[in-house]
Amino acid sequence: MRLLQYSGSGELSIHSFDDGEIPPYAILSHTWGPDRDEVTFADVQTGGGKTKLGYKKIGFCGRQAQRDGLQYFWIDTCCIDKANKAELALSIRSMFCWYRNAARCYVYLSDVSSQPQPVVSGRHYPQWFLWIWLLSILYSVSRWYSSTMQRCFYSRHVPCTLAGSDVVRSGQTPEITLQKSRWFTRGWTLQELLAPSVVEFFSEEGAELGSKLSLAKEVREITGIPCSALQGKPLSGFSVNERISWNEHRTTKIPTDRAYSLMGILGVSLSPFDGESPAEAMRRVIDEAEKQDKCLRDIRQTDPRDDKKRIEDTKGGLLADSYRWVLANPTFQQWQQRSDSRLLWVKGDPGKGKTMLLCGIIDELHNSMPRSTLLSYFFCQATDSRINSAAAVLRGLLYMLIHQQPSLISHVRGKYDHTGKSLFEDANAWVALTEIFAAVLQDKGLSTTYLVLDALDECMTDRPKLLRFIAGQSSASSRVKWIVSSRNWTAIEEELARAEHKTRLSLELNAESVAAAVDFFIQQNVCQLAQEKRYTPEVQNAVLKHLTSNANETFLWVALVCQDLKATPKWNVLKKLVQFPPGLNDLYKQMLQQITSSDSANMCLQVLAVIAVLYRPVTVAEIVVLTEQLADFVNDLDSVREIIGLCGSFLTLRNNTAYFVHQSAKDFVVTEALNEVFLDGIERVHQDIFAKSLTVLHKTLHRDVYNLQAPGYPIGDVRLALPDPLAVSRYACVYWIDHFCDSKYNLLADSATNQEDTRTIDAFFRQKYLYWLEALSLCSSMARGIVSITRLWHLVQGLRDKDALTDIVYDARRFIMYHKEAVEKYPLQVYASALLFSPADSITRRLFQHEEPKEVTVKPAISNGWSACLQTLEGHSRSVTSVAFSHDSTWLASASGDSTVKIWDASSGTCLHTFEGHSSWITSVAFSHDSTWLASASDDSTVKIWDASSGTCLHTLEGHSSGVTSVAFSHDSTWLASASDDSTVKIWDASSGTCLHTLEGHSSWVTSVAFSHDSTWLASASYDSTVKIWDASSGTCLHTLEGHSSWITSVAFSHDSTWLASASGDSTVKIWDASSGTCLHTLEGHSSRVTSVAFSYDSTWLASASGDSTVKIWDASSGTCLHTLEGHSSRVTSVAFSHDSTWLASASYDSTVKIWDASSGACLSTINVGTSLQYLSFDSTSTLIHTEIGTITISASQITDRVDVTASELQCQGAGLSLDRIWVMRAGSNILWIPSEYRPACSAVSETYVGMGVGSGRVWLCQVT
């Protein structure tokens, strides 16, 4: 990064700094003037540019930086070498980061003056106007005073040296003045306003107008940007669409910069492309932003910010005086201030307040650290499987880090783009996450970072791995500091001993400070009790004294006692008080004794047992269906809440969800209270939960449980149904297999229970399996489902009488693993893609064959079993290069790099013939117009003619000395023309295979051939810049059409065969007299190569498409340019006239199709198709446009009312493919998701069929009815 510096003598110099060595600097945001007025990088290097108007801004920025105590400053016009394209691209990607890291950003508004408006001599103003003028000045002075106070607040005590420039003396108020500034209309303004933490506005004279904080209301009204964004809320907290909306109506000097200026706002980093259109750039930026947004959503397993709030609310709020002692603690201060102290381990016994202490530390760090510093934290909780594993810890920390510094996601995307969400969930998740996290911590752009991790002892999965990782990484970077907490466990201490720069903070060794904090906690709780229960002073003092004497510096003991006292009548408080024993364990024993001696003992004990073995906290509705004793309370949830309240103080309810009050409470229940709570053992409770789970699943699961209806309904658009049909079964849906596995302590026992379980599971897979997968998708738990069913598969291997169950579980496991991606993203594809792309002999497919879609058929049939053939269906062994339907749509031909051609029955999908004989890859296939013959051209220099119905090779046409590039039948199917890299064209008798003529004359390879519509002439285009017209019957070269200065891109005969048009890379079109070869007209006007030409059906007009983004309509007889059709923003690829010659359609790389009035040149409609198209044509009714991905419908009102059509409004007819080629569509709606190994490299579409050639060599058809 280059920075500018003013010397003591006022000389300007420029310095370069490596990452990590960049000093504090100011940065200038401004509007550019004409290029001639701006000081450039070259000017600064040579010491020039001082006479340019732009030098005034440099002087202002340098002086202001000095007043703010900053030696260096950055200005885009002169710190970037724009002549160096690589540097410019890097600068565009780095701009947001540079603004974010700046100490101050100065916005220089060259069109805003702070000087008073001049009074015109002789002009008189009414008294009321003078009063308003005076009030406006007073208002401005008050705003200046407010701004000055704010500057003092930020410790800016340097006096301003611009005499009289600090006061805004304009007769206009600041917000009115600001609103008129051109700065607010710029595209780059967004990141320059939002990235820096301190943004200050200055007038043309250098007077400060205010900051983005003091002027937040005015800036919001001008820009529409929420105040929270101006005040520093992470931009990732706003949706992609909302951030894009801030860019509406903004302009940039370079059109593509409107997209690139959004990169920092959207958290993406892309290099600019040369020749990229603004629309392409914007689409690329938005696509990347949406990918990153999805990646971030997939990383998120929980939002630690929500967990922190839940914990604080559950514990009655965070009391500052209960944690402030740690801020003055020498050990904590050592960790905070010394660079060699990077890991602080806070350790203490249960209930000592470790979690709330860390909550307080997090708040203090957040409130005191600079905005550029990162703070990420995570709270482990053993009772919740979402947040009790080592992988979950790293996912949570990553999620928060990327939220604050989006560029860090680059370390995730490399792996994520290949594997998707499974990267964070499969068996290798821990390995992948540690590699990603280590890379993040070593990122050169990573700011100072605090990582806080609470309750390591409650990390139940891979805790030793997590501890070793923390120990290693805490020594790896001096910019990263860790705080971790746990109980006083020897195993944790031994693992953390590996860390080199660690510090311990023991709560037991700081007993005096902890006791003081507990005393304050007691006082707060007793005061609250006294107010709520109206204690007398004597009772209040007695409670205070007892709690203080018995708390033993344990917050949890105090909280539990106070909770019990809340339910105790005032008259019984003193008697109750003496019954509370000191110490947590003794208190728990007393609570259990009260439960066992109550009338509701059995019910409460079973509730405790069930909640103790569950894998996550559950709702009241879920508890009812999982607990046998609560079966009668399904419609009486209030009573269930009362029962939970009767479970002593072991459980608490928050947001209708039941939790243990503390991990120590659960530990007591499953250890010391094991015999009282689990009368028949823990395994029996798992068994009961498993049975209850399957019961509720049988009742609630069915097809389309959320009534989504559309087969392609994406999971991201699903909204929770009210009432939620899965409300009672969500837990059972995710965890029923885990409870079954944990109940099988004696697998080989031939017990009645085991036999009953086997029958139950078998019935579930036969009757509900597909509906369960749909529900797993709706619960966002497909990955968990795969883990569970794999666990079940391994378990059933040990069961007796297992054969039938083993087979069905094996098939179910293969089914879910293969179709996970489709079902996870689109729940209803479990009935479409998952079934249709499963083997014919799949047990799951046979059981649920009745659920297959009736309107979609995949041909040829998928292989019989789950085997290697699942990946290599019958077809080509190398990539498919070309596919073509016969003209009657009966057959589909496919050509491949494996040197074969295959013909497929379009109705059945059966491979009718495999044509072998070529010795190299096939370049092109073409059916004769009567669909009798098929011609294949090959790189082996031959052409073969095949009988399309029998598959017999009728003729091998030899004679070319190099690869054949193209073949074409005459319209009457009499002749076949072939073009070759040997610079020749050959005409063959299609029926006999005889070479009638070898057409020589081109001096370079022939790119294309075309017959005239009456089959009289053949035109050949070549890279030698010429077109030749040949007599098709004699092979005589009638004319060599010379005149183009570059290669020929396209040739087309008029429909009456009178004229031939040629398009060239030399930006011209020529019209030739086909009979004489005379060049009638040279059509000039395009500024880039002409890509396509087409005659109207009445041969009156010629249309040309060009890389200059325009279409031109020419009078074919006179060569006059009738219309230049402008509107596309990128290269136009294809043009076609309607059959009545009324309309012209054009397709472009800007992903639009435009329909033009051919006579007037007016644009009638713009259709945003969302992808670039290479081919289009009208049907005979001019109401449909055929393309390579489907048929677009054109409505009469769309044309008459000149309505533009967005991609979301696009109307399609019949079969088709989605823009990304991932879906088979019907009438524009997604109906069949295509697995990755079936996705097309090339495709052909008819009304009811989609034919696809796949890179692997597979060819398949989908019939849509």
Question: What b/e readout covers 1105-1124, taking b as 16+ CB neighbours within 10 angstroms?
Answer: bbbbbbbbbbebeebeeebe
Q: State how far the Cα of 1115 lies from the Cα of 779, in Å rounded to an integer.
A: 63
Residue 84 lies in a domain: yes
Do residues 442 and 477 make contact, with C-beta atoms less than 8 angstroms apart? yes
Q: State how far the Cα of 1065 lies from the Cα of 1024, in Å rounded to an integer.
A: 11
State residue 135's pLDDT score. Answer: 58
Query: DSSP character for 884?
Result: E
Are residues 496 and 511 both part of a single domain?
A: no
Strand partners for 263:
none
Are residues 658 and 737 both part of a single domain?
A: no
Q: State how far the Cα of 920 lies from the Cα of 899, in Å rounded to an integer.
A: 5
Length of the chain measured in residues: 1265
State residue 610's pLDDT score. Answer: 96
582, 608, 626: which is the final residue of a domain? 582
| Strand order through the sheet with 618-619 | 618-619, 657-660, 651-654
Helices and strands: H and E segment counts in the chain: 40, 53
**Vertex 431: Cα angle to 430 and 435 (nearest 5):** 115
Residue 153 lies in a domain: no
Q: State how far the Cα of 42 lies from the Cα of 48, in Å rounded to an integer.
A: 8
Q: State how far the Cα of 638 lies from the Cα of 525, in Å rounded to an integer.
A: 28
Residue 278 preceded by cis peptide, ω within 30? no
Q: State how far the Cα of 1024 lies from the Cα of 982, in Å rounded to an integer.
A: 12
Are residues 546 and 488 both part of a single domain?
A: no
Which has the closest alpha carbon to 483: 350, 362, 610?
A: 362
What residues make up the domain containing 545? 507-582
Do residues 174 and 139 make contact, with C-beta atoms less than 8 angstroms apart? no
Which residues touch 379 (CB under 8 Å, ≥6 apart)?
A: 304, 307, 308, 311, 355, 387, 454, 455
950, 969, 1002: which is the final residue of a domain? 1002
233, 251, 283: which is the final residue of a domain? 233
Are residues 323 and 407 both part of a single domain?
A: yes
CATH code, domain with 919: 2.130.10.10
Hey, what amino acid is at 1034?
S
Token pair belonging to 222 = 């001008």
How far are the Cα atoms of 530, 624, 646, 1153, 1172 from residue 605, in angstroms, in the given order?
32, 14, 10, 69, 66
Do residues 977 and 967 make contact, with C-beta atoms less than 8 angstroms apart? yes
Which has the closest alpha carbon to 1216: 1258, 1249, 1193?
A: 1249
**Vertex 348: Cα angle to 345 and 350 (nearest 5):** 135
Query: DSSP character for 1202?
Result: T
Q: State how far the Cα of 118 lies from the Cα of 425, in Å rounded to an integer.
A: 70
Hey, what amino acid is at 433?
L
Are residues 702 and 728 both part of a single domain?
A: yes
Torsion of CA 697, 703, 708, 712, to 10 degrees: 120
Which residues touch 523 (CB under 8 Å, ≥6 apart)?
A: 544
Do residues 769 and 812 make contact, with C-beta atoms less than 8 angstroms apart? yes
Do residues 877 and 899 make contact, with C-beta atoms less than 8 angstroms apart? no
How far are the Cα atoms of 759, 763, 790, 820, 1061 from residue 786, in angstroms, in the given order?
21, 19, 6, 8, 61
The set of long-range contacts for 138-146, using a CB threshold of 8 Å and a minimum separation of 24, is 139/173, 140/167, 140/168, 140/169, 140/170, 140/173, 140/174, 141/167, 141/168, 143/168, 143/173, 143/174, 143/209, 143/210, 143/214, 144/168, 144/208, 146/210, 146/214
Are residues 484 and 340 both part of a single domain?
A: yes
- Stated pTM of the model: 0.66
Do residues 661 and 560 make contact, with C-beta atoms less than 8 angstroms apart? yes
Q: State how far the Cα of 342 lies from the Cα of 474, in Å rounded to an integer.
A: 6
State residue 830's pLDDT score. Answer: 96
Are residues 378 and 489 both part of a single domain?
A: yes
Strand partners for 999:
985
Residue 255 preceded by cis peptide, ω within 30? no
Q: State how far the Cα of 876 lies from the Cα of 374, in Å rounded to an integer.
A: 53
Q: State how far the Cα of 1073 lies from the Cα of 1117, in Å rounded to an integer.
A: 10
Residue 1207 lies in a domain: no
Are residues 705 and 739 both part of a single domain?
A: yes
Counting the structural domains of the chain, the total is 8
Tell how strand 995-999 and strand 2-6 pair up.
unpaired
Residue 163 lies in a domain: no
pLDDT, mean of each 10-residue run, the chain (1265 residues): 81 84 92 89 87 89 92 92 84 87 92 68 52 57 50 37 35 60 89 91 90 90 89 84 87 87 87 77 87 90 92 86 91 91 93 93 91 91 90 96 90 84 83 92 89 95 94 88 94 90 90 89 91 90 90 88 88 87 89 89 94 94 92 89 86 89 90 92 94 96 94 89 91 95 67 80 95 95 88 80 79 90 92 91 94 86 56 53 77 83 68 81 86 90 88 88 87 88 88 86 82 84 86 83 86 86 90 86 90 89 91 91 89 89 89 89 86 82 82 79 73 82 86 85 81 77 84
Residue 860 lies in a domain: no
Q: State how far the Cα of 1051 lies from the Cα of 1057, in Å rounded to an integer.
A: 13
Are residues 313 and 418 both part of a single domain?
A: yes
Token pair belonging to 258 = 């409107």
Query: DSSP character for 1032?
Result: T
Instruction: Write the DSSP string, 360-426.
Output: HHHHHHHHHS-TTSEEEEEE--TT-GGGSBHHHHHHHHHHHHHHH-GGGGHHHHHHHHHHGGGGGTS
Q: State how far the Cα of 1074 lies from the Cα of 706, in Å rounded to an integer.
A: 65
Q: State how far the Cα of 284 lies from the Cα of 270, in Å rounded to an integer.
A: 9
State residue 156's pLDDT score. Answer: 36
Residue where the block lists tokens 């492309």: 273
- Per-residue pLDDT tens digits for 206-238: 889 899 898 988 899 888 899 988 888 888 888
How far are the Cα atoms of 384, 460, 667, 782 from residue 392, in angstroms, in the given order?
11, 11, 22, 16
Q: Rg of the Cα trace of the chain?
A: 38
Are residues 397 and 347 both part of a single domain?
A: yes
Query: Three-class SS string for 457-470?
Result: HHCCECHHHHHHHH
- Per-residue pLDDT tens digits for 1063-1074: 888 899 999 888
State residue 1111's pLDDT score. Answer: 93
Are residues 1083 and 1119 both part of a single domain?
A: yes
Are residues 206 and 321 both part of a single domain?
A: no
